Amino acid sequence: MDGAKRLGWLDVLRAIAALVVVFDHSSYAFMAELRRELMPQFSTSRYGIMVFFLVSGYIVPASLERRGCVRTFWIGRVFRLCPLWALAVTAVLVLGLAGLTPMRTGDGGLSPATVAVAHVTLLQELLGTPNLLLVLWTLSYEMAFYLLVVALFTVRLHRRSAAAAMTLAVLAAVGGVAATALPPSAAADAIGTGPLVAIAALTLVAAVGCASAGPPALRVAGGVLGGVQALALAAFDSTVPVWESLVILAVMFLGTAVHRAEHGQSTWRLAAVTCAVVLVCAVGSAYRYGDGAFFTRRGWITAFLLAVLTFAAGLALRHRRVPRLLAGLGAISYSVYLLHPVLLAVTDGTIGRERRNSPLLEVAFFAVLLPLCALTYRYVEAPGRALGRRVAATRNKQRSVT
């Protein structure tokens, strides 16, 4: 079975996650009555996002280890994420400047330079700055996970994914106590958002640069620096509670632990124990501290458990034939995830929002969104990834020559 077919089940999971997140956000506009009834029982957004995080955890560390090179890994990540990210952010800025949609600038009076630098690092969610596009907050956790994965790789502890997941889960349970004492974005409030963004940007450049090149000691120092930065920001400057911030990272490492068990690098017993610890700590933390502005504890717990079950079902059925439609939707899922808020902003600024259920408008929204995303995948995502592979190959060739 070739690699594409072997990982087809992940495309199905991505497709499901993306469609659920789009429904969650579009239902604000087109299915308001249904949303009011559903959300207390089931946080659809958290469900889709947790499935995405499990998939990332399963596949991203394997990508680094397959390459065996931190520099090549970062090149691949940049060209995978940034072309479409740049398109989405540019579209939001253009629409905002044209007066078609409101700009998400926050209430802190931050300078445009501060917001721009925070977004370029992809860590804006963890730096006390507003997300220009609401869904960009999850990319900050992806970035934090990358930094932690690189840190473990540079110190040769990357096979300890289960230990990392369980440690983060336990810290999440303990960190729930801190959530009652620490306000969101505590570090930004303490030292100022501008200074924090500047420090984080310089630290990120140093961490990635050192971990990607130089003698072994410098690579280790760079990796550790990035990992410490990721943990510190997730614990002390996230806009979500401390417990959820750490649960997100634990969930991604749970995905990695499953990958290791499947490929004989660990045992299924250890993966099962890891899953049990993460589940108990996450559900316990949510039950004790979980009522928030965007979900109820019941809605979060239901979504979390269903996300884990969805991932487990995908894993159990991974050798089955994957429907082409779902595989295709999975391939464009990043475009679907990143661009649907842009299209929603356009509809909000033109036709407005319905105060009742309007299934026809909901279907019409998907009918416009999905072909648009197929185009951006073909003309933005795919060329960007191809360019990244060429750049990485060139860098590797230069390194082998020197």
365 and 304 in a single domain? The answer is yes
Mean pLDDT computed over 370-393: 95
Question: Quick check: is 74 in a domain?
Answer: no
pLDDT at 213: 85
Question: Quick check: is 135 in a domain?
Answer: yes
| Whether residue 8 has pLDDT greater than 70 | yes
- Residue matched to tokens 């391939």: 331
| Whether residue 178 has pLDDT greater than 80 | no
State the total domains in the chain: 2
279 and 318 in a single domain? The answer is no
Residues 380/382/385/389 CA torsion (nearest 10 deg): -130
269 and 299 in a single domain? The answer is no
pLDDT at 41: 83
Question: Quick check: is 34 in a domain?
Answer: yes
276 and 396 in a single domain? The answer is no
Question: Quick check: is 163 in a domain?
Answer: yes
pLDDT at 31: 87
pLDDT at 355: 64
pLDDT at 78: 96
| Whether residue 247 has pLDDT greater than 60 | yes
Query: pLDDT tens for residues 99-132?
Result: 777 666 555 578 888 999 999 999 999 998 889 9
Mean pLDDT computed over 66-82: 94
The two structure tokens encoding residue 396:
């590797």
223 and 256 in a single domain? The answer is yes
124 and 250 in a single domain? The answer is yes
Residues 119/123/129/133 CA torsion (nearest 10 deg): 60
Q: Show the domain range for 17.
A: 1-65+80-97+295-402
Instruction: For residues 237 and 149, give the distance between their C-alpha atoms in angstroms, rounded to a whole number.
Output: 20
> Which H/E stretch holds residue 256?
helix 242-262
Secondary structure letter of residue 129 according to DSSP: -
195 and 269 in a single domain? The answer is yes
Question: Quick check: is 72 in a domain?
Answer: no
Domain boundary residue, one of 253, 273, 291? 291
60 and 130 in a single domain? The answer is no
233 and 87 in a single domain? The answer is no
Domain boundary residue, one of 253, 270, 291? 291
- What is the secondary structure of 67-125 as a DSSP string? HT-HHHHHHHHHHHHHHHHHHHHHHHHHHHHTTSS-----SS---HHHHHHHHHTT-GG
pLDDT at 180: 55
Beta bridge partners of 31: 357
pLDDT at 290: 64
Question: Quick check: is 362 in a domain?
Answer: yes
Query: pLDDT tens for residues 20-45?
Result: 999 999 988 888 888 888 877 888 99
Domain boundary residue, one of 229, 261, 291? 291
- What percent of the chain lies above the pLDDT cut of 70? 90
Query: pLDDT tens for residues 346-363?
Result: 888 777 776 667 889 999
Enumerate residues 6+ apart whose C-beta is below 8 A from 283: 301, 304, 305
pTM above 0.85, yes or no: yes
Query: pLDDT tens for residues 273-317?
Result: 999 999 999 999 888 876 655 667 888 999 999 999 999 999 999
231 and 148 in a single domain? The answer is yes
379 and 270 in a single domain? The answer is no
pLDDT at 291: 63
Question: Quick check: is 42 in a domain?
Answer: yes
Beta bridge partners of 357: 31
219 and 194 in a single domain? The answer is yes
